[in-house]
Structure 1
Amino acid sequence: MSLVQLHRVDFSIGGPLLLERVDLSIEANERVCVVGRNGEGKSTLLKLVSGELRADDGEVRAQSGIVMARLPQEVPQDTAGSVFDVVAEGLGDLGRLLARYQHLLAIGDLDALGDAQAKIEAQHGWDLNRRVEDVLTQLELPGEMEFSALSGGMKRRAFLAQALVRKPDILLLDEPTNHLDIEAISWLQTFLKQFAGSIIFISHDRTFLRALATRIVEIDRGMVTDWPGDYDNYLRRREERLHAENQANALFDKKLAREEVWIRQGIKARRTRNEGRVRALQALRNERSKRRDVAGNVKMALGHTHASGKKVIDLKHVSHGFDGRVLIDDLSTAVMRGDRIGIIGPNGAGKSTLLKIMLGELVPQHGTVHLGTGTQIAYFDQHRLQLDDSLNAIDNVAGGHEFIELNGQRKHIIGYLQDFLFSPDRARAPISRLSGGERNRLLLAKLFAQPSNLLVMDEPTNDLDVETLELLEELLLEYKGTLLLVSHDRAFLDNVVSSTLVLEGQGRIGEYVGGYTDWLRQRPATQRATPSAGKPAGKVDTPPARVKRKLSFKDQRKLEQLPGRIEQLESEIASQMAAMNEPAFFQQASSAIVQSNTALAVLQAELDTAYAHWAELDG
């Protein structure tokens, strides 16, 4: 029996139905990813499943006794108390009583402590107290620490613990990777694979959803479609469906056009008409008026200017830090014209600081930085501080002008913003009403209207849907200038950059050829075991020395075979990398590039596992 069923569900927020005649079942132990364009109703669908919203029509049925928990998209700003308090809140009144008991225990108020203890015992609450402690241990959370002192990633982890402490049968996650660094995303990905329940999640992180999803549910123009299998299977079958839909629509439109010609000729040719044919034409018109066409794609173009000098940025012996903590230690590197450089590191490691030093916005404590001649910079700020909330989209981009100049051509601002999917009404509305995805698109529109030869992008992928991400990738691949990119989107890095700077902790910055997957392959052995996201940025654990143990016959055979397998995998990775370094590689369709990068990621994951087994058996 299904855990939850939606039957013929309709839902609207005024105007056309946001979700129409939705039929959906959620089974036990599956991981369902909900995909679709921004604004299609993905978060709404999760709220209908959880019961936070009621359907306008249809029925939502949940199996008796089913427990559901939802991880919010953003951490509530007013959250206070210790980490134990926040996690125990997931248990309601009894959880708050357990949290009070912990506080009373800490201050030694024996009278109040006895009263709280009696109430907990009356409700058989000690088992739940152990459950909170177990979840804190499982997620490596410091229960006694103040919630406000946690990093952004650890705050998200505490709210995940709050959901898990309820022992949910269904876990609902809305963009769980937003604002997490790569290390935290990898931890979450591994943890969710081991979750003993069903997961319904929304994500635009293609690496994350490829690793987790066992089924894809797509929302497209109000309709919900179920696609069994993984994400790549969904992409193939969706293309086939859209192709068939376009052919059917073309035949329909051709028939309608023919009948429209007939009705006009009929008026001239005779006084009476075939009334059956007239009624059929009216039915065709009604059907066409109800058709919801596929949402248009963003049409992005970058403003180009003259080429910069050959050497764009030159750093020599640069060091910088804050409050006694070294972020950059003796970095010397040069950025050359045409480089596409990714910058990788945990949150708080100093990525934005490094960017500001490279751009001359921040003077380093030691060393020198020189910007090359003729450099024109366009800068995408992850906090979107370049947008003025008191202005509408038109004035944010055009500064009160009616036209913009783009690559020598004059374009009306309304038409330009329509390329970024802003209707004329939306373009004139205050931007305070825009969603996160719309604000990101608006900042891209503002950025791309500026002529540049050095494009600097600090976390541009947050809140963008997959279609816009893929178009942005194509645009950046065609960009003739130099690119500096900070991102936690592993697929985006793999598809766009040709080299990476990695903040490895204690001021070390490593330089590597290729993207994220290439860095995984090349990084030092001491970094191969990814440190816990709960540890301070830049801290890498060194495995303790182990006593050599006697192996079983089976393990001894595995140990003997592993070097050969490792050599084979490294050879396959090298061959694939050589093919990807050919100029023709990036002339393929984006789907082929994505497929190649995915295959490479699978090989790299297998190589990492083989190395881990070898280290374990040979230790």
Structure 2
Amino acid sequence: MLLGLKNASLRIADTVLLDAVDFSLEAGERVCLVGRNGAGKSTLLRVIAGDQALDAGERICAQGIRLARLQQDVPADTDGSVYDVVADGLGEIGRLSARYHQLAHAAQPDLDRLAAVQAEIEAHDAWNVEARVEAIVTRLELPADAAFAELSGGQKRRVLLGRALVSEPDVLLLDEPTNHLDIPSIDALETLLHEFAGSLIFVSHDRAFVRRLATRVCDLDRGRLSNWTGGWDAYLRGKAEALHAEAIEQALFDKKLAQEEAWIRKGVEARRTRSAGRVKALLQMREHLQQRRKREGDVKLVVQEAERSGRLVARLDAVTHGFGGEPLIRRLSTTILRGDKIGIIGPNGAGKTTLLALLLGKLQPDAGSVRLGSKLEVAYFDQLRDALRDEEMTAIDAVGGGREYVEIDGSRRHVISYLQDFLFTPDRARVPVRVLSGGERARLMLAQLFSKPSNLLVLDEPTNDLDMETLDLLEEQLIDYKGTVLLVSHDREFLDNVVTRSLVFEGNGVVGDYVGGYADWLRQRPPTALERSAAAVASASRAPSIQQPKARLDSRERRELDALPQRIEALETEQSMLAAQMNEPGFYRRAREQIDRVEQRLREIDEQLTVAYARWEALETLR
């Protein structure tokens, strides 16, 4: 065991965050911490890192292990160049390397100071430090000499990740590492963490990210920590079963308690038959009921729909737009109709928010034309949360705007009652916005958004800071929404579950129009230059003859089709066996090479199954 917690308890104010929690981490594990907003996941990371003291219990840590942590928020006191910040992860030796880098890359180097720093580096035998920093900077595609303060939020997160990685830690702790990253950056982060040789503990609400990385999921719920090995899907099954069992157990307990309460209240004639032991048991049941910590309720989302818009929502004809002479969008033509759910996908800075402004008529194109439909009632979720820019106002102010009541789906409701649907207690609804957590601000934005009827929902990065239960509910509401949805998101699973079409920024101002979500785009997109090159090499090596498409199966293809079900079954059986191996308690105590082989084989099986199913479908259409 690398590190762990034994009987750990922690209370902050009146909230019990950890209630006699046990936890252990083995070498090579990738553990995801999940739980509701405010459950204490970030606090648990601080406890594991040794930065937060416990009320009771103990933190256990193997001697000499190195830990590094990427926290959720960018520290306000972080300054210097990108190279300086990354090198700072190595402590004083790293800062020495940063000084050498600054002097060596100055326009007019101070040779005396450079020589002094060089001598100090040689005295510490630390020349390999510079190579390690430069390797991380290159791997993460960071601008080494750029000022950290001038970077975007996503770039700053990548720099801080580099600072954590440069120390080559045995255990890496990450708190919401995908926040503010675009999809290419998330893909690159997933690959990097897959190759990371140490152990990983991370908090994330990005389901696709968790599904790809986690070998174990730990759920923090009402102070208790539960474990599920086998990854995200095993957790979903196990959690549903656990909640069902808990509901049955509590119903039986409540029934028994009601019976005992009825018994104790029987008349005077029954008192002689009362057992002292039974009375004592009843008192214990009452105490247990008082101590029962009820699970926090679900957010209640109701999307109010306005009168239907016209059939046409927006039409773009050969639209071109850019800034500084550089087009972000070139000759885009598309039509959006009532009921469409459009995903807008692209890297940070590609022009997604600009496209939204064009589609809503807030921005006029440099060339081409935009025609908007009639009777549009727009509700806008802004990723910058400008609606909450007055941080002294309360949640009541944000939703009510000075009114005590709001009209929700035809009913008049008090603002505080409505905010309780979004898990704001009356006290919490009265505090200034500046003290709300990221998750609370996201829920407040949703409360504000859905307090007014709409037939066009515009959601610019709505999933940041939302817990998974709220994400699931938001998905359901958007799927059932009869109006039109424009959705900008880097959450791949959210896009796949909600949108019916995707507008994708593919580089050089080209915006592709595809049916379906993110996964559908991956299947339909034009091959990249690298993929075309690989395909050409593979094609040349096979040297196939040119044939016309066939309408029927030949005998070889019939044999292939007959054999495919057996092949798929064999692959799925092997997949189950390997998953069972990973679930064994001692799996992550094996040699790193053995763990890598199992994980690599599982990835190969996934790819082979995808190909086999696609081939089966293709051959079936020719049968």
How many residues align? The count is 557
Preserved CA contact (<8 Å) 1:520 1:528: no
2:181 is matched with 180
Q: 2:463 aligns with which of 461, 468, 471?
A: 461
**Residue by residue, what CA displacement relative to the aligned partner does 1:460-510 show, whole Å, maximum 9, x if unpaired?**
000000110000000111111111100000000000000000111222111
Residues 455 and 528 (structure 1 numbering): CA distance in 2 closer, same or farther, change over 3 Å?
farther
Segment of structure 1 superposing worse, 273-282 or 285-294? 273-282
Opposite residue 158 of structure 2, the aligned amino acid is R
Which secondary structure state, in structure 1, belongs to the residue aligned with residue 379 of structure 2? strand
Preserved CA contact (<8 Å) 1:215 1:228: yes
Identity of aligned residues (%): 56
1:297 is matched with 298
Which secondary structure state, in structure 2, belongs to the residue aligned with residue 186 of structure 1? helix
Q: Find the aligned partners of 1:428 and 1:527 in 2 and give their Cα distance.
A: 55
Which secondary structure state, in structure 2, belongs to the residue aligned with residue 246 of structure 1? helix
CA shift, 1:298, in A, is 0.7
2:279 is matched with 278
2:259 is matched with 258
Which secondary structure state, in structure 1, belongs to the residue aligned with residue 265 of structure 2? helix
1:52 is matched with 51
Residues 545 and 296 (structure 1 numbering): CA distance in 2 closer, same or farther, change over 3 Å?
closer
Q: Find the aligned partners of 1:318 and 1:501 in 2 and give their Cα distance.
A: 14
Q: Find the aligned partners of 1:157 and 1:446 in 2 and give their Cα distance.
A: 32
1:9 is matched with 8
Q: Find the aligned partners of 2:606 and 2:497 in 1 and give their Cα distance.
A: 15
Opposite residue 20 of structure 1, the aligned amino acid is D
CA shift, 1:125, in A, is 1.4
TM-score (norm 2): 0.84
Q: Find the aligned partners of 1:447 and 1:367 in 2 and give their Cα distance.
A: 31
1:212 is matched with 213
2:61 is matched with 62
Segment of structure 1 superposing worse, 504-513 or 489-498? 504-513
Preserved CA contact (<8 Å) 1:381 1:457: yes
Preserved CA contact (<8 Å) 1:266 1:273: no
CA shift, 1:141, in A, is 3.1
CA shift, 1:365, in A, is 1.8
Opposite residue 11 of structure 2, the aligned amino acid is S
**Residue by residue, what CA displacement relative to the aligned partner does 1:418-448 show, whole Å, maximum 9, x if unpaired?**
1111111111222221100111101101111
Q: Find the aligned partners of 1:527 and 1:296 in 2 and give their Cα distance.
A: 50
1:481 is matched with 483
Q: Find the aligned partners of 2:217 and 2:272 in 1 and give their Cα distance.
A: 56
Preserved CA contact (<8 Å) 1:8 1:57: yes
1:31 is matched with 30
Matches within 5 A, 1:222-261: 222-261=223-262
Preserved CA contact (<8 Å) 1:296 1:421: yes
CA root-mean-square deviation? 2.8
- Give yes or no for the alignment of 1:131 onto 2:132: yes
Matches within 5 A, 1:327-406: 327-387=328-388, 388-406=390-408
Preserved CA contact (<8 Å) 1:378 1:454: yes
Q: Find the aligned partners of 1:452 and 1:550 in 2 and give their Cα distance.
A: 56
Preserved CA contact (<8 Å) 1:517 1:604: no
Residues 239 and 162 (structure 1 numbering): CA distance in 2 closer, same or farther, change over 3 Å?
same
**Residue by residue, what CA displacement relative to the aligned partner does 1:149-196 show, whole Å, maximum 9, x if unpaired?**
544433322222211111100011100000111111111011111111
CA shift, 1:204, in A, is 0.3
Which secondary structure state, in structure 1, belongs to the residue aligned with residue 502 of structure 2? strand
**Residue by residue, what CA displacement relative to the aligned partner does 1:364-412 show, whole Å, maximum 9, x if unpaired?**
2222222211111111111111124222111211122222112212222
- Give yes or no for the alignment of 1:40 onto 2:36: no
Residues 272 and 392 (structure 1 numbering): CA distance in 2 closer, same or farther, change over 3 Å?
farther
Residues 164 and 383 (structure 1 numbering): CA distance in 2 closer, same or farther, change over 3 Å?
same
Opposite residue 128 of structure 1, the aligned amino acid is V
Segment of structure 1 superposing worse, 261-270 or 481-490? 261-270
**Any stretches of 5+ residues in structure 2 without a counterpart?**
545-556, 566-602, 616-623
Opposite residue 448 of structure 2, the aligned amino acid is K
Q: Find the aligned partners of 2:381 and 2:141 in 1 and give their Cα distance.
A: 34
2:87 is matched with 88
Which secondary structure state, in structure 1, belongs to the residue aligned with residue 386 of structure 2? coil
Preserved CA contact (<8 Å) 1:521 1:604: no
Residues 195 and 446 (structure 1 numbering): CA distance in 2 closer, same or farther, change over 3 Å?
same
CA shift, 1:546, in A, is 9.2
Q: Find the aligned partners of 1:366 and 1:605 in 2 and give their Cα distance.
A: 47
CA shift, 1:258, in A, is 1.5
CA shift, 1:24, in A, is 0.5
Q: Find the aligned partners of 2:534 and 2:607 in 1 and give their Cα distance.
A: 28
- Give yes or no for the alignment of 1:448 onto 2:447: no
Q: Find the aligned partners of 1:317 and 1:16 in 2 and give their Cα distance.
A: 57
Opposite residue 488 of structure 1, the aligned amino acid is H
Which secondary structure state, in structure 2, belongs to the residue aligned with residue 178 of structure 1? coil
Preserved CA contact (<8 Å) 1:417 1:445: yes
2:572 is matched with none
Preserved CA contact (<8 Å) 1:12 1:18: yes
**Any stretches of 5+ residues in structure 1 without a counterpart?**
530-541, 558-563, 573-598, 612-619
1:198 is matched with 199
